[in-house]
């Protein structure tokens, strides 16, 4: 939605489209939760001309010429620091200045060479540490960017991409068709199940589970064109943590003992981030937090992180020259019960 706005209209008109109902609501909440950092975050979120888009190269149709051109334009490779897990097969480039390449058009039978995304959305994928041959579940998979990124990291033995929303499901299918070669499609299953039912449907099946949960999508909500609909969204916002917790409970059921789970959102909201994870950790004796502070240290060159009060959770906030995020992600492990 936001990408369409960016492409269609210059910032002068976009500024008029900022939804005051949403901005006022965020102002009250995030000025308390983020303190002084909110001023910079707000300035970037309300100024799409500051937004940056990373270029994830598709290893299944590698664009060598494009890679050369990106270098010439001043793009640099993401994650130049020493991340605990960073597969050489994943190549992502970003520019220090706001610049957006045109999207490739979907053509049946031709694989796209690159995918445009918010660079922070790769962090939850990397935190999952996918290895060749593993069974992995992307519980809320549309539009498909994180599933695609997982496949840039490793060749899973089985990838289950689930999306409950039928419109978003079509988007997911098209993303996979556009980037993934036919032989690999055979190890991918796409389903339209209510994510809250996945645990009962496939108990203790997966080595790794990604829960990129429905959330208050701060960037797109700020540009809601219908203020009445925006007000309705805000009133229903308090129900999101319950849904997120139910999705996590289902994901935990679907995860095998010894497996890893990553939870992520694209909101700054503590109620949908840290509070959700705290609730889950307090409810399960066999779910353990995994310390990911090292990821923040290794990525500080390209991302700005806000304190979360959690060793297992990180929050990327938009900053000047590093306009990625919001992106919260937390890493959990399911222990073997005796």
**Could you confirm whether 312 is annotated as catalytic?**
no
* 142 labelled binding-site residue: yes
212 assigned to a ligand binding site: yes
What is d(CA 255, CA 204) in angstroms, rounded to the nearest whole number? 5
Question: Is 8 a known ligand-binding residue?
Answer: no
What angle is formed at CA 156 by the lines to CA 329 and CA 128, rounded to 5 degrees? 15
Return left, alpha or beta for 195; rule: phi > 0 is left, psi -120 to 50 is alpha, else beta: alpha
144 is in an annotated binding site: yes
Catalytic residue among 19, 153, 266, 299: 266
Residue 73 among known ligand-binding residues? no
140 is in an annotated binding site: yes
Q: What residues are designated binding site for S-adenosyl-L-methionine?
A: 140-146, 163, 194, 212
Q: What residues are designated binding site?
A: 140-146, 163, 194, 212
Active site residues: 266
């Amino acid at each position: 939605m936001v990408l369409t706005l960016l492409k269609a209209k210059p910032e002068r008109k976009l500024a008029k489209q900022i939804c005051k109902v949403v901005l006022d609501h965020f102002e009250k909440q995030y000025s308390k939760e983020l303190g002084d950092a909110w001023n910079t975050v707000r300035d970037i979120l309300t100024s799409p001309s500051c937004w940056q888009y990373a270029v994830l190269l598709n290893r299944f149709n590698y664009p060598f010429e494009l890679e050369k051109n990106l270098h010439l334009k001043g793009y640099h490779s993401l994650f130049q620091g020493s991340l605990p897990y960073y597969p050489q097969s994943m190549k992502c480039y970003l520019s220090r200045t706001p610049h957006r390449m045109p999207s490739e058009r979907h053509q049946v039978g031709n694989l796209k060479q690159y995918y445009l995304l918010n660079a922070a959305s790769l962090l939850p994928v990397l935190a999952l540490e996918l290895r060749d041959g593993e069974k992995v579940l992307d519980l809320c998979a549309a539009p498909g960017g994180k599933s695609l990124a997982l496949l840039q990291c490793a060749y899973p033995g089985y990838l289950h991409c689930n999306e409950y929303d039928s419109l978003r499901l079509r988007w997911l299918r098209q993303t996979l068709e556009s980037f993934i070669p036919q032989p690999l499609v055979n190890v991918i299953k796409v389903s339209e199940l209510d994510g809250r039912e996945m645990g009962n449907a496939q108990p203790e099946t997966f080595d790794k589970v990604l829960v990129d949960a429905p959330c208050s999508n701060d960037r797109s909500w700020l540009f809601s064109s219908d203020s009445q609909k925006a007000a309705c969204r805000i009133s229903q916002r308090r129900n999101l943590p319950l849904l997120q917790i139910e999705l996590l409970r289902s994901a935990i059921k679907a995860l095998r003992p010894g497996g890893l789970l990553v939870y992520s959102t694209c909101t700054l909201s503590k109620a949908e981030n840290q509070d959700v994870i705290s609730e889950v950790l307090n409810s399960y004796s066999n779910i353990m937090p995994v310390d990911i502070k090292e990821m923040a240290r290794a990525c500080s060159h390209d991302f700005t992180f806000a304190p979360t009060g959690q060793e297992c959770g990180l929050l990327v906030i938009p900053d000047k020259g590093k306009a990625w995020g919001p992106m919260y992600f937390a890493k959990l492990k399911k222990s073997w019960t005796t």
